[in-house]
Structure 1
Amino acid sequence: MTPASVGFQCPECMREGQKSVRQPKRFTGARVGFRALPVTFSLIGVNVLVWLSIILTGWHSSVLTQVLPIRFRQFCLGPDDRPVVVPREACAQAAEFGSRWYPGVDDGAVWQLLTSVFTHIDLLHIAVNMLSLYMLGSFLEPIVGRLRFLVFYLISGLAGSVLVLWATDPNAATVGTVGASGAIFGLLGVLVVLFVRAGQSLAPLLPVLLINAGITFFGNGISWQGHVGGFVGGLVVAGIFTQFRADRKAPLQWAALGGFTLVLLAAVGVRMALF
């Protein structure tokens, strides 16, 4: 078993899954191979680049740790390292004394919905997440295609961020949520849908699913909201693409995907309006 911050990935299970699935096809019908993984490696590269940027600009004190993680609400971290909810102007006036401004989605930092998916602070966190991404990507990208794999990752990550906003106490959400875990859980959800639609048994995946579920709900410092939201997002987008499989139905795929994205963004707007 390979430890991961999103749980455990089982190499034997993945190999068994590859054996049990018929000769791979894109879900538009075209056959593909398992050679190149440009999107998987590009995603890994972006994650690593962001992590290195954080390390080289101060690590835990880097300004990137202020703006990239997703936070429900903005706050000002005073010289005594105590978070205080004050207007940005007041925080700026105290900057000479060491105060730092941390933007939140409620303050208009909507970029955090996706930048958080590419942000890691600690070496172990990014190492195991990228290993998990590589293992899932090496299986999924050749099957679903490059663009679809990228969409699965991004939309799953967005869905995880949306649930973080809805299921986190805004009055206690001064600690930002980071990591690709939500997107990776989404890819795991995609894998489940592909197995089901191909008529394959989920038995090879059950150990992975159960262990990940246990870590999600019982692990320390784990954003269960990001994991669950990402997993559900992966189920939805994979369902959309497998429902409209033929090339001639590609416009329906993208229309449905666009609709789901709008639903997620609307959910963010509603959450902010209710706060």
Structure 2
Amino acid sequence: MDTDRLPGCYRHPDRDTGIRCTRCERPICPECMISASVGFQCPECVREGSGTGHRQAANAPRTLAGGAVADDPHLVTKVLIGINAAVFLAGLLFPPLVVQLELLGRYVDYIGGPVEGISTGQYHRLLTSVFLHAEWWHIAGNMLALWVIGGPLEAALGRVRYLAVYLLSGLGASAFVYLLTEPNTPTLGASGAVFGLLGATVVLARRLRYEMRPVITMVVLMLVLTFVPFGGRLSVSWQAHVGGLLTGLLLGLAMLAPGPGGKRAFAQWGTCALVFLLAAGLVLARTAELT
């Protein structure tokens, strides 16, 4: 028997956790933990301790990052998967759509004339490319990773903060690709944003005092798959993966740092603004170089 193993959440026994409810002391996972004035509480204790009116509003349950606790803690993840699937089907039915939305630095000569890119002002490609996929196995792999990694992270951050991490990680990944690849190389896929969620998950596991070896092993494995070539597969953009991972790590540190509510929210959204400005700076610098 492994005596060093962490206990399982009382509502989800298959999820090991090092956090306990400060009132009943039952072990709770990120999906069940609710921020309290001191530590975290389980949903039952929060319901028992909540009052009505102003007191209930003041004691509204919060996620680990300070966001509102939602009835469906995986809703944004489901919506993102739905959007990716819809865009993939639209691209199959109308292939020119992919050409107009993929990440492209300068231009590519297609039948009918050249297609312009970011350097000519088509900045929408930095985010639209995050929702594009080339093949069914390409989208299947990314969406499986999004569900496995994104679901628990959304429960821990809350919907708005989770969506911010996803979109900004995708933007950071695209900025790295634009900066470090040939300007006429088309790039697409959600893997940069997924790597960002993975980076934030590393911070989450550290914050919850989880065993870090499985998380670090996952990161190393995904990076190995990024850099080690395998014959016959779609070329992988290491720039997108590294850019997304670094962006997610930075945002995860900001989102999950402990502190008073007001100051923590300021630090969270201030970091989001900083990441956006850094990405914009990289994009503008690369555009100036290409024009």
Residues 1:70 and 2:103 aligned together: yes
Within a 5 Å distance, the mapping from 1:184-199 to structure 2 comes to 184-199=194-209
Q: Equivalents in 2 of 1:21, 1:111: separation in Å?
A: 42
- Counterpart among 52, 64, 73 of residue 89 in structure 2: 52
Contact 1:73/1:104, CA 8 A, preserved across alignment:
yes
Q: Secondary structure at the match of 2:80?
A: helix
Q: Equivalents in 2 of 1:16, 1:258: separation in Å?
A: 38
Larger proportion of helix: 1
Within a 5 Å distance, the mapping from 1:141-220 to structure 2 comes to 141-170=154-183, 174-220=184-230
Query: Quick one: structure 1 residues 246 and 101, their matched pair in 2 at CA, closer, same or farther if it must change by over 3 Å?
Result: farther
Q: TM-score, normalising length from structure 1?
A: 0.78
Q: Secondary structure at the match of 2:109?
A: strand
Q: Deviations over 1:234-273 (max 9, x none)?
A: 0011111123644222133212211221111111101111
Within a 5 Å distance, the mapping from 1:71-150 to structure 2 comes to 71-77=104-110, 98-150=111-163
Q: Secondary structure at the match of 1:110?
A: coil
Q: Deviations over 1:151-183 (max 9, x none)?
A: 11101111110110111133xxx3311100000
Contact 1:29/1:245, CA 8 A, preserved across alignment:
no
Greater RCO between the two (CA within 8 Å, min separation 6)? 1
Q: Secondary structure at the match of 1:243?
A: coil
Q: Secondary structure at the match of 1:106?
A: helix
One-letter amino acid matched to 1:19 = D
Contact 1:16/1:204, CA 8 A, preserved across alignment:
no
Within a 5 Å distance, the mapping from 1:13-52 to structure 2 comes to 18-22=15-19, 23=28, 24=30, 25=33, 26-29=63-66, 32=69, 35-52=72-89
- Counterpart among 218, 228, 234 of residue 242 in structure 2: 228
Q: TM-score, normalising length from structure 2?
A: 0.74
Alignment gaps of 5+ in structure 2: 1-11, 20-27, 34-62
Alignment gaps of 5+ in structure 1: 1-14, 78-97
Q: Equivalents in 1 of 2:289, 2:245: separation in Å?
A: 25
Percent identity, please. Answer: 35
One-letter amino acid matched to 2:132 = T
Query: Quick one: structure 1 residues 55 and 251, their matched pair in 2 at CA, closer, same or farther if it must change by over 3 Å?
Result: same
Q: Secondary structure at the match of 2:86?
A: helix
Q: Secondary structure at the match of 2:128?
A: helix
The alpha-carbon deviation at position 211 of structure 1 amounts to: 1.3
Q: Equivalents in 1 of 2:241, 2:275: separation in Å?
A: 18
Query: Quick one: structure 1 residues 142 and 223, their matched pair in 2 at CA, closer, same or farther if it must change by over 3 Å?
Result: same
The alpha-carbon deviation at position 102 of structure 1 amounts to: 1.8
Q: Equivalents in 1 of 2:186, 2:245: separation in Å?
A: 20
Large movers: runs of 4+ above 6 Å:
none
Larger radius of gyration: 2
The alpha-carbon deviation at position 199 of structure 1 amounts to: 3.0
Q: Secondary structure at the match of 1:75?
A: strand
Q: Equivalents in 2 of 1:189, 1:251: separation in Å?
A: 21
Give the total of aligned pairs: 234
Q: Secondary structure at the match of 2:114?
A: strand
Q: Equivalents in 2 of 1:16, 1:181: separation in Å?
A: 30
One-letter amino acid matched to 2:242 = V
The CA RMSD over aligned residues, in Å, is 2.2
